[in-house]
Amino acid sequence: MAYPYPFAFPDARQISQASSYSTLSGALDPAPAQSTYHPVRPNASTSDNGIPISQYIRAQTSSNPDLSGALGPAHGQPHQYIRSQAPVFTGASISPYSAVPYTLNGSYEGSSSARSPYPYPERNVLHPAKYMANMPPAAPKKMYKTVVPSGFHRLPQPVVTDTSASPKSWCRIGSQHAAIKFNRKGGGMAFRVDELVELEDKPEVEGGHDQVFSGIGDRFIKVFITWPGYSQLIVERRICTDNGTLKREKLLKLLAKYIEDLVQNIHRKSIHVEKGYEKYKVEWRPRGLPSIWRDCLITSLVHESGSNWQVELHVKA
């Protein structure tokens, strides 16, 4: 087998130079498929040979102080390990903890209660069931004031309890719903029964579009209407809450209609007033209208228990 070049064995100087190239072999350009045959240049033994790349890189990086020693210490330099230290500022000692103590009342500057726009009260960390003492004031609620003219008093009505009814909404939590007020829009006397019965349009009641049964959880309520001196006659009506969307103005019209049904039953059945309640006797005028129409005011609807409600009336003394 014939070789194109004669065999030449490298000397010790060439071996040391090759070792310096071994660590960077293929770093710049991908080498083709390597072979075990390595021809040696004829001028390899001359004095005009190349400089090892490691010495060339160190010579270039030494001019740049930021990259000096990036590839490691030069020959003859010992390895040095430098511990990173935190910057030291003169005039004050640096503590890993905040200099501002944490307090539960949030009175110091920079606390969460001072800088956070969160509208709800902060919860106590130690006692999660309790809240902070500096709770923000609740949004003011509009109150509807019922105006009752002088000479009228509240009609005494016995409280009707429905023992067969299962516990609902407020019975479970042991509280009652607030009374639903019917105040005339713009002020003035409360609504009379006669004007509500004869009214074709919706009454001008304050907060007429309020959904007064929103969130109560009952699909219907029971309304009881009684009259002193006629205890044997009790009007019970069920009112559908329309899933809590029933409005105040519609409720007022319904209550006036139920009071009319009570008086019509007294007249149709010819029921006499009980002894001791003669001043609450329902009499009829010559035109066939009951005497209480102009002297009876609907002021509110009061929650009694469970789903039971009762109409609050004021009559002329």
Asked if residue 290 is part of any domain, the answer here is yes
Query: What per-residue confidence (pLDDT) applies to 221?
Result: 92
Query: What per-residue confidence (pLDDT) applies to 211?
Result: 92
Asked if residue 296 is part of any domain, the answer here is yes
CA angle 207, 236, 213 (to 5 degrees): 30
Question: In the chain, where does DSSP find H-type helix?
Answer: 12-22, 53-61, 112-115, 169-173, 193-198, 248-269
Asked if residue 246 is part of any domain, the answer here is yes
DSSP character string of 26-42: TSSS---S--S-----G
Asked if residue 266 is part of any domain, the answer here is yes
Distance CA 78, CA 86 (A): 25
Asked if residue 298 is part of any domain, the answer here is yes
Q: What separation in angstroms does the CA of 165 have from each of 38, 56, 171, 221, 266?
A: 105, 99, 11, 11, 27
What is the domain count for the chain? 1
Asked if residue 305 is part of any domain, the answer here is yes
Query: What per-residue confidence (pLDDT) applies to 232?
Result: 86
Query: Do residues 225 and 258 make contact, with C-beta atoms less than 8 angstroms apart?
Result: yes
Query: What per-residue confidence (pLDDT) applies to 316?
Result: 84
Query: What per-residue confidence (pLDDT) applies to 110?
Result: 44
N-term to C-term CA, the chain? 140
Q: What domain range is 250 assigned to? A: 168-274+282-316
Query: What per-residue confidence (pLDDT) applies to 176?
Result: 72
Mean pLDDT by 10 residues, the chain (317 residues): 54 56 50 51 51 58 54 57 50 51 46 50 58 52 67 84 51 65 87 88 91 84 91 90 92 92 86 90 66 81 89 87
Asked if residue 262 is part of any domain, the answer here is yes
